[in-house]
Amino acid sequence: MSTFDLTQRMAPFLDMHLIIPLLEFIEPRGIYDEKSLTEMHRQLLSKTNMIDSVIETYNGKPIPEAVEAKKKQIIKERDELKNKVDSVVAILEIPEVKEMMDNNRERDGNVRILEHLTQNHNFTVDMVDTLFKYSKFMYECGNYTVASVCLYYYRNLVNQADPNYLNALYGKLASEILLQEWEHARDDLLKLRAYIDANPFDTEWELVTQRAWLMHWALFVYYNYPKGRDEIIEMFLNQQPYLNAIQVLAPHLLRYLAVAVVTSKSRQKNSLKDLVKVIDIERHSYKDPVTDFLTCLYIKYDFDEAQEMLQKCEEVLSNDFFLTAVLGDFRESARLLIFEMFCRIHQCITIEMLARRLNMSQEEAERWIVDLIRTYRIEGAKIDSKLGQVVMGVKSVSIHEQVMENTKRLTLRAQQIALQLEKGRQDKVKAN
C-alpha cells in the first residue's frame, strides 16, 4: 500500500508548511502506521512556530512544559517584531507609494522605489531587513496572509541580486499556495521560474536542484488550476532543462507528468510519444502503476497487463494528494487510449472482450463505444450488434495511392526551384 506513496520522496523538495497538507491528506487513509504518522506530524509542526497546532496534536493529553514555554517566547518575539515593523508598513501603505509599487516593473529594478522612500519618507535600509524577518516569522506562525503582503512589499523593494530575493520569491509562492490563491500563486510561480531560468547560481548542480524544487511546488498550483495540466506538460516535458532535472533528481515526478499527459485533451499524441520514451529510459530507476500502464500499452503491447495496471492506478490516484481530483478523468482517458490502440491493431473485436478489458459490463461497454465512435468519429468503426462485435473498416493503402502520394508535391517543388533559379538569374543581370 505504501509502496506507491510518494510523500516521503517528495518531502525533501518541499517546504515544511507545504508538507503539512500532504500529511493531513494521508492521515485518514491508513497507509502508514498511525502512531508514527502523528508523531511525525507533531515533530514537523514543532519545527515551525505554529504552536497552537502542536498543542492540538496532543488531543487533550497533558502538554509538555517546553511547548508552553516556547509559546510564550514566540508571542514575545512576535510583539517585538511587530513594534518594529509597524512603522515600516505605515510608510509602505501610503497610497502614493503603493501606487508606485503596483506600477513597478521588474526590469527597472527596484532601486527607484527604494531611493524615493529613503529621500521622502525617512526610510532606512535596515527597515527592509526587518520587513523580511517579520514576514518570515509570520509565515512560520502560519499567518500566511500577512506574510504574503509583506513579501509583496519586500520583493518590490529589494534588488534581484539580494541574497534573500530568491527566498522571498519562494516564501511568497508558498504563502499563496497555502492561501489557495491559485491565480496569484501562478503569477509567483512564473516569476520564480523566470528568475531560476536566468541562472543566477554558481553551479549547474544548484540550478538543477532549484528546478526540481520549483517543479514540486508547481504541482500544487497546476493541479488546482483549470488549465494547469497543459502547463505541466509544457514545463515538465517540453522544456529540456526541466526534463533533465526530473531524470536526474526526481523521477517520481513522472507520475504527475504521465497523468497530465493522459488526461490532457489537446496535443496528446506527440507528448505521449515523448513521455513514453522518457518513461522507458527511466524504467530502471522509477516505476509505478501509472508509468507501467503506459509501458504496457506502448512498449510491451500487453493489453492484459495494461488492464491490471489501470486497476492499480485507480488505487494509487485516489491516495495521491494531487491526483485524487483527476481520477475520473484519468480513467476515461486511459480507456480511450486502450480502445484506440485496439482499433489500430484489430480488424474485429468482440464487445465482450472489450468490456472485460475496459472493466465494464457488456452493455455499458456497448454504450460507451457508441459514444466514443460518435464523439471522436473513429473512422470506419461499426458495431455488429448481432455478433456482438466491433468491426473496423480496413484502410490499406494501395500502391497506386502510394505513388500518388509520393509524387503529389513534386511539381510544386520543381516549380519553386525553377522560380528561385529565375530570380537568381535576374538578380545577377541587375547587378551587372
Partner 1 sequence: MSRFYRRGASDSDTDSSEDEVEELKVNKSAKFRDDLDFMAGPEEDEKRVVRAQKDKKFDELKSLIKQNRDAKSNKDLNKLLTGFDTLAKAYDKSKTIFQRQNVTTPRFYIRFLVEIEDYVNKLWEDKEAKAALSKNNTKALSPLRQKLKKYIKDHGLTDLVTDYRANPDEDGYETPEDENEDDDFEEVSDAKAEKSPGRQAERVADSESESDSDDDDSFNWSSEPDTNSSDDEESVTKMEQLRRYFLKKEFREESKDDKKDKRKRVIKVKEVVEEDDDDWTPVSREKSVVHFDPKEEVTHDVMIKKLNEVMSARGKRTTDRNQHVANLQKLLEVAEEKQLGLGISVKISFCIISALFELNAKISDYMEYETFMNTLRTVNTLLDLLITTDRVKLSVTYAEEDENLKDENEEYRIQGSILIAVQRLDGELAKILQNADCHSNDYIEKLKAEKDMCQLIEKAEKYVELRNHLGIFDKHEVCKVYMMRIEHTYYKYQDQNVGEIAKTMDYLCNKIYTLDDEKRLRQRAMLCHVYFLAVHDKWHRARDLLLMSHMQAIVDHSDVDTQILYNRTICQLGLCAFRHGFIREAHQGLSEIQNTQRAKELLAQAVGTRPHEKTAEQEKIDRSRQVPYHMHINVELMECVYLICSMLLEIPHMASCEFEMRRRMLSRSFHYQLKQSEKASLTGPPENTREHVVAASKAMLNGDWKKCKDYIVNEKMNQKVWNLFHNADQVKDMVVRRIQEESLRTYLLTYSTVYSTVSLKKLASLFDLSKKDVHSIISKMIIQEELSATLDEPTDCLIMHRVEPSRLQMLALNLSDKLQTLAENNEQILEPRTGRGGYQGPGSWFPGRNERQGDKQKGSGGFQGERRGGPGGPDGKRGNWGSQGGQQRRHPQKQRAF
Binding site residues, partner 1, CB under 8 A = 11-17, 136, 139, 167, 170-171, 174, 199, 203-205, 207-209, 212-213, 216, 237, 240-241, 243-244, 247-249, 274, 277-278, 281, 284-285, 300-302, 304, 341, 344-350, 353, 387, 389, 392, 394, 396-397, 399-400, 402-403, 406-407, 410, 413-414, 417, 420-421
Q: Give min distance, CB of 296 to partner 1, in A.
A: 9
Q: Give min distance, CB of 118 to partner 1, in A.
A: 27
Q: Give min distance, CB of 350 to partner 1, in A.
A: 5
Q: Going by C-beta distance under 8 Å and a sequence separation of 6 or more, which residues neighbour residue 395?
A: 379, 380
Task: Spell out the long-range contacts of 185-193 with Cβ–Cβ below 8 A and sequence spacing 24 or more.
Answer: 185/220, 185/221, 186/221, 186/225, 189/214, 189/217, 189/218, 189/221, 191/106, 193/235
For partner 1, the closer of residues 58 and 205 by Cβ is 205
193-218 burial by CB neighbour count: b if 16+ within 10 A, else e?
A: bebbeeeeeeeeeebbbbbbbbbbbb
The residue among 102, 98, 78, 91 whose CA lies nearest residue 128 is 91
Q: Going by C-beta distance under 8 Å and a sequence separation of 6 or more, which residues neighbour residue 342?
A: 303, 349, 354, 357
Cα distances (angstroms) measured from residue 299 to each of 16, 137, 282, 296, 331: 39, 51, 13, 6, 20
For partner 1, the closer of residues 29 and 413 by Cβ is 413
For partner 1, the closer of residues 113 and 292 by Cβ is 292
Whole-angstrom distance, CA of residue 276 vs CA of residue 294: 7
Task: Report the DSSP beta bridge partners of residue 128.
Answer: none
Whole-angstrom distance, CA of residue 212 vs CA of residue 305: 32
Cell of 380: 470506419
For partner 1, the closer of residues 248 and 325 by Cβ is 248
Q: Going by C-beta distance under 8 Å and a sequence separation of 6 or more, which residues neighbour residue 325?
A: 223
DSSP H helices in 64-181: 65-92, 95-102, 111-121, 125-141, 144-157, 165-179
Taking the CA of residue 156 as centre, how many other CA atoms within 13 Å lie in the half-sphere pointing to its CB?
18
Whole-angstrom distance, CA of residue 146 vs CA of residue 140: 11
Q: Give min distance, CB of 179 to partner 1, in A.
A: 14
For partner 1, the closer of residues 74 and 353 by Cβ is 353
Q: Give min distance, CB of 322 to partner 1, in A.
A: 17
Task: Report the DSSP beta bridge partners of residue 389.
Answer: 350, 384
For partner 1, the closer of residues 43 and 120 by Cβ is 43
229, 219 Cβ separation under 8 angstroms: no
For partner 1, the closer of residues 251 and 326 by Cβ is 251
Q: Give min distance, CB of 61 to partner 1, in A.
A: 29
For partner 1, the closer of residues 29 and 423 by Cβ is 423
Q: Give min distance, CB of 336 to partner 1, in A.
A: 16
Task: Spell out the long-range contacts of 336-342 with Cβ–Cβ below 8 A and sequence spacing 24 or more.
Answer: 336/372, 336/376, 337/262, 337/297, 338/297, 338/303, 338/306, 338/307, 338/310, 339/369, 339/372, 340/378, 341/297, 341/301, 341/303, 342/303
For partner 1, the closer of residues 51 and 168 by Cβ is 168
For partner 1, the closer of residues 15 and 230 by Cβ is 15
Q: Give min distance, CB of 60 to partner 1, in A.
A: 31
The residue among 26, 41, 13, 35 whose CA lies nearest residue 322 is 26
Q: Give min distance, CB of 91 to partner 1, in A.
A: 25
Q: Give min distance, CB of 169 to partner 1, in A.
A: 9
For partner 1, the closer of residues 94 and 414 by Cβ is 414
Q: Give min distance, CB of 150 to partner 1, in A.
A: 13
